[in-house]
Every structure is written in structure tokens, then in C-alpha cells.
Amino acid sequence: MTRRRPVPPAIRRRRLLLSVANHSVAIALSIAFLVPFVFILATSLMTNEQALSQSLWPHPFRWSNFHDVFTAFPFLRYTLNSFTYAVLATVGVVLSGVPVAYALSRMRWRGRQAAFVLVLSTLMLPPQVTIVPLYVIFVRLHWIGTLKPLIIPLFFGDAFTIFLLRQFFMTIPQELSDAARVDGASELQILLRVIVPLAKPAIAAVALFQFLYSWNDFFNPLLYAGNNPDSWTLAVALTQLTTLSRGVLWNLQMAGALLFTLPVIILFFFAQKVFVQGVTLTGVKG
Amino acid sequence: MATVAERPGAVPEQVRLAERRRRRRRSALRRQGIALLFMSPWIIGFSAFYVYPMAASLYFSFTRYDILSDPVWVGLSNYQFMFTGDGLFWQSVRNTLWIIAFLVPLQVAFGIGSAIVLTRVKRGLSLYRTIFFLPTMVPLVAAALGWLFLLNPAGPINRFLHLFHLPEPLWFYDPHWTKPGLLLLGLWMVGQTMILFLAALLDVPSHLYEAAEIEGAGPWQRFRHVTLPMISPVIFFSVVIGVINGFKYFTEAFVISQSGDQTGLDNPIGYPQDSLRFFTSHLYQQGFEAFHMGYAAALSWILFVVIMACTLVLIRGSRRWVHYQGGFR
């Protein structure tokens, strides 16, 4: 063990200066990242005349903007649509993803390797390649203008969910399934009683990812539901506010954008752990 | 094996073996059936939403098709028109290459830079990290609308530039400034990239830095010869994902074109003056506004081929500069 020698004052001063410099850079960057939020929030609390003027701070504070968004536009409808899409999509990917991931990771059968490669290849496929025929299919099914094209396909397996769950299922010791098998449990019982309880963190992570993806999704709702205002999600509706009100209403638009962001930020703070687990599971690291 | 005593009157050996083999085969068959049953959601989804659409899209790309009437075979003319007759296609290619050429390197550099800042603060790391990451959590549509406001000609950013007597561009109203405006938005949302770099930087063993210091390497040399090689796999990953996302660039541009001027008129795709017409915007307009489904299918196949080719080229090229610990490639 080496005894700690007192640090010479010159070195201590250098360290202090370095630390001040590092924190100044970090603080400057923090301000750059945060300032947009401040301006957006400030604008959402202004009257529209003020928002169009050059003033930067609300006077008076118009908290009613957050209420007016719901009365000036069918904002509740849009919110419900967004929730419907996000919740059902999440249920869909989990329900269909769990058994598929189980078969791909914990059962031995012919064609398993090939099936896994195909799952991976759909993960890489840019979605634009399939949208033209999919659109035609949904036209034939009379699903265009509804939320069905966004939700129903997700009940038939989602590559990202399957991949992530499979990676997690692989880490569960094989002895646990073998023990259950000796006790006469069927594959379904093993899946539901052994694997699913152990895989709760991974299932929570994929559920969170899918919820956020669907909530934020713009392209699919625009493509499949864009022609019917009754089916607009918040993401689509927010881009139409200026058109709907025949001129920009910065205050309401910013208030709407903040309301749209709020659930995501809340989820982020409550579920940071789940989030981090999910990211490490996908193995996207060094 | 020899412990099982032969009972008198036991079944002859061969019959027993055959019985066991049959039983084993039956149970394997059963297992195969159960596995396929578990796989069935994906099997249906894969056939209906991938295999058929891929094939159909290839077929449509050789036809003229507007959904209402049946597709008419036109051979290669969609592709021919794309490369020789469609000026807007080339405009969209130029815009897409522009955004890839600027956004990807800037995001990587800024991601590394802000991650390095995070590694150097001792106290308050988790607070800074949360702040740096926060913008990434904002839904893309909300972020685009937010920046549309921030960069409006009378908006906060131009007021700030005005304070310092700097030029105040019209941003999303001026075709020359629309894409630089998108770069600002892209840099604000750098969090995901930054987090990956942060993890990679924290993974670099400190003895490498110590060794370099003993050898007399200055800060720049340590960064160039220790840090960069050690985080090169993450740089590679970010570049590949960045390029792929660049080819799929759509939402930000669509939202900003759509609400770009404050008049509330329905703006065309790529407004102003096609400066925001990206590859996917062009595809969207051709397919789902003009209902040139055959042409849109051809565009989507070209996109697919280009993305695959770029990824392959990047992987090929990576062997020269990506350093994997443990030596495997």
C-alpha cells in the first residue's frame, strides 16, 4: 500500500483549472441541448399575437393553450388513436414474438437456423421496398383510412422483437427447461411457467420499444390513415394544424407538440432501467 | 447399460431397438410440429408481409399500375424513365446524398465530442448524460415542428444571430438553407450515437493510455492512436446505420415542407423548390399522391439495391480501418 502523499499546490491548481474547463464545456453543451425546450415551452404559453411577435418571454402566461388545443381541434380523438395504435401494436408484437422467439432459441427442430437467418434479413430490409404491394393489399381489404394496417400485421411477428427476445431466451440455463420436461411439462407450459417469468425484463424492454416506436411513428399512419382525419394519430395531426387553422398558430402548435412529447419523457424517466437493459441486449456496443 | 437384467421372455433385441427408434422418430416429428405451431404467426406474417410484397413489388416495377385498373407490362421503361427522363428523381438523389455526406460525419464527430466531454467530468455525469440524451426522446414530428419554430425568420435563433450582427438566413423558407437547418435538427438529436460512443470510450482500457503517455504521446496522439482505433467498431456501426437512415430520410423533411410557410396552404412535397425532396419523399409522392404504383415500385427496388450495395461497400472498406479487439473480423 502506498501512502497518499499531499498533492503539490501547482498540480492541484492545474487539476482544478482542468475540472473547471471540463465543466464549462459540459454546461455550455447542456444549455445548447436545453434551450430549444425553453423556447418551445415559452411559446406554448403565449397568446398567438405574442408568439408571432419578436418577444421571447410569455406575458401573460396563457396556460389555457394546453386546454385550447383540445377544443380548437379534435385533439382527444387523435390522442385516443395514438394510444390505440401504440397499445395494440405492443400487445401484438409481444403475443406473436414470444412463441416465435421460444421456438428459435429453446427448441430443436429442422429449419431453425434458416428461419433465424430469414428473421434477421427482414430486420435489415428497408420498409420502403414492400410498401407499394402492401398498400395495394390494404386497399383491397378496405383497410386504408383505418388503423388496421398499422396494427394487424404486428400480430404476425416483428423481427426486432423476435430477435431481442431470442437473444434473451438464449441466456436462460437449459437445465431449467430440462427439469420441467422431466416433470412432464409440455413446451407451452415450459414457455409460460419457466421462460416468461424469467424473461420479464426483456419483454418489458420490447414492449417499451414498440410503444415508443408506434407513438412516434409518422410514416405508416400518414401512408395508411392519412386520408381520413378520423384516424389521424397525434403525429399526423400535428403536421396538419397549420393547414386546419388556415395559418400558423405557433402557441397551439408548440403546446400540442409538448403534449405529444410528454408521455414519452415520463416513460423515459420511469423506465430508464428497462431501456438500458434493452439496449445492452441488442448487443449494439463495441 | 449392462445393468438392466434380461427378463425371461423379453422381447428380442432387434424388435426393441426398432420400437425405440420409431418412438424417437415420432417424438422428433411431434417436436417439429410444435415448433412450427409456435412459429406460425411469423410464418404467416413473413409470407404475407415480406415474401409476397417483395415479389409483387418487383413485378409491379415492370408495369404501369394505378390500382384501379390492372397492371400493364411495360418492360424496363420505368427504370429508363427514372434514369433518363425524371429530373425530380435526380434532384431527390442529390438532396439525399447531400444529407448523407454532411449529416453522417457531423453526427459521428459531434457524438464522439460530446461523449468525450462526458468522460471527463467526474461529478454530475448522470445529470449531463440525461440532458444530452433528452432531445433524442422527443418524437421526430414534435422535434421537427419545434425546430420549424426555432428557425422561423423571426424566431429565437435569428434573434440570437441578430444580437451578434450575423447574417440571418430564412432557413426553411430559403431553398439554400433548408438542408443546413435539418443538420441542426439532426445534431440536436445526436443522443443515441453519443450513448454508444460513451460506452465504447469507457471500455478503452486505461493501461493503453498510460503506456502511450510513457512513450511520450501527447493528447492528440493518444486520441489518434489509442482512442480512435479502440472505438472504430462503433464509428463503423454509426456510419452504416447513418447511411441507411440517410437513404430513408423522410419524416423531418415531410413535416417541414408541409407546415413550412405559415400560410396554411398545402405545400407540395419537397417545398421550397424541391430542396427537401429526398429519395423517399419522391417515392411517396409518385406512389401515394400520384398513384404511379409501378414507378414507385421501381424506385423502391432501386432504393433496396442501393442500400444493399452501400452496406456491402462499407463492410468491405471497413477491414482497412476498423480494429476489433481479439483480432477477428
- A148 and A257 housed in the same domain: yes
pLDDT band (50, 70, 90) for residue A286: very low
Predicted pLDDT at B329: 40
Packing angle of the helix pair A9-44, B87-120 (nearest 10 deg): 140
Q: What is the mean pLDDT of residues B224-228?
A: 90
Confidence of residue A117 (pLDDT cuts 50, 70, 90): very high
Cell of A49: 399575437
Residues A53 and A90 in one domain: no
pLDDT top residue among B54 and B159: B54
- In a domain, residue A1? The reply is no
User: Is B318:B236 a contact under the CB 8 Å cutoff?
Assistant: yes
In-domain check, residue A286: no
Q: Does residue A171 carry a pLDDT above 60? A: yes
Residues of B in contact with A222 (CB under 8 A): 254
Q: If you count residue pairs, one on A and one on B, with CB atoms under 8 Å apart, how many are there?
A: 246
Report the alpha-carbon distance of residue A17 to residue A171 in Å, rounded.
Answer: 47
pLDDT at B165: 83
Verify that A119 and A47 share a domain, yes or no.
no
Reduced to 3 states, what is the DSSP secondary structure of residue B72? Answer: strand
Looking at the fold, whether A99 and A139 belong to one and the same domain comes out as yes
Q: Are A232 and A154 in contact (CB under 8 A)?
A: no
* Domain match, A94 and A182 both: yes
Angle at A168 (CA atoms; ends A165, A174), nearest 5 degrees: 120
A18/B238 Cα distance (integer angstroms): 30
CATH of the domain at A99: 1.10.3720.10
Across A87-101, A179-193, B207-221, which has the greatest mean pLDDT?
A87-101
Cβ–Cβ below 8 Å for A126 and B48:
no
Q: Both A264 and A141 in a single domain? A: yes
If asked whether residues A83 and A17 sit together in one domain, one would say no
| Contact between B31 and A96 using a beta-carbon 8 Å cutoff | no
Answer whether residue A264 is part of any domain: yes
* Mean model confidence pLDDT for chain B: 87
- Averaged pLDDT, B221-249: 90
Per-residue pLDDT tens over the stretch B234-243: 899 899 999 9
Q: Are residues A256 and A138 in the same domain?
A: yes
Residue of B nearest to A94 (CA): B41
Instruction: Write down the pLDDT at residue B239.
Output: 92
Q: Which three cell numbers stand for residue B178?
A: 433548408
Residues of A in contact with B156 (CB under 8 A): 35, 39, 56
User: What's residue B97's pLDDT?
Assistant: 95
SS3 label, residue B63:
strand
> Lowest-pLDDT range, A57-66, A196-205, B119-128, B259-268?
B259-268
Q: Chain B residues with CB inside 8 Å of A247's CB?
A: 262-264
Q: Which residues from B are below 8 Å from A134, CB to CB?
A: 49, 53
**What percent of chain A lies above the pLDDT cut of 90?**
47
pLDDT at B174: 83
pLDDT above 60: residue B7: no
Give yes or no for residue A235 having a pLDDT over 80: yes
pLDDT digits (tens, 9 = 90+) for A240-252: 887 777 777 888 8
Q: Choosing among A98, A128, A138, A272, which should be mutated to test the B contact, i.e. which has the most B CBs within 10 A? A: A128
Q: Kindly state the percentage of chain B with pLDDT values over 90.
A: 44
Q: Which domain holds residue A51?
A: 9-66
Answer yes or no: is A4 within a domain: no
A119: pLDDT confidence band, cut at 50, 70 and 90?
very high
Amino acid at A163: F
pLDDT at B8: 55
Q: A147 in a domain, yes or no?
A: yes
Angle at A140 between CA A138 and CA A146, to 5 degrees: 40
Total domain count, chain A: 2
Please name the member of A108, A240, A261 whose beta carbon is closest to the beta carbon of B138: A261
Q: Is residue A224's pLDDT more than 90?
A: yes
Domain boundary among A66, A92, A108: A66
A103: nearest CB among B35, B237, B301: B35
| pLDDT at residue A284 greater than cutoff 50 | no
Considering the domain architecture, whether residues A86 and A119 belong to the same structural domain is answered as yes
Distance from CA of A156 to the nearest CA of B (A): 5
Residues B142-195 pLDDT 10s: 999 889 888 888 888 888 888 888 888 888 888 888 899 999 999 999 988 999
Side-chain-side CA neighbours of B317 within 13 Å: the count stands at: 10
Q: Which of A33, A137, A250 sits opposite B134 (nearest CB)?
A: A33
Same domain, A134 and A115: yes
List the one residue out of A73, A56, A80 whose CA is nearest residue A255.
Answer: A73
Query: Mean pLDDT in chain A?
Result: 87
Whether residue A192 lies inside any domain: the answer is: yes
Does A3 fall in a domain? no
- Is the model more confident about B312 or about B325? B312
Phi, psi torsion values for A160, nearest 5 degrees: -65, -45
Mean pLDDT of B310-325: 83
Rg (CA), chain A: 25
Q: Do B42 and A19 touch (CB under 8 A)?
A: no
Q: Are residues A275 and A202 in the same domain?
A: yes
A2 within some domain: no
A250 in the same domain as A223: yes
Q: Is residue B62 predicted with pLDDT exceeding 90?
A: yes
Could you tell me where the DSSP H helices lie in chain B?
A: 13-46, 52-60, 77-84, 87-120, 125-137, 140-150, 156-163, 178-188, 191-203, 206-214, 219-222, 228-247, 251-258, 279-288, 293-321
Whether pLDDT at B2 is above 90: no
A239 vs chain B: nearest CA distance in angstroms?
A: 6
pLDDT at A270: 84
Which of A200-214, A234-248, B28-42, B81-95 has the least mean pLDDT? A234-248
C-alpha cell at position A8: 503539490
Per-residue pLDDT at B67: 86
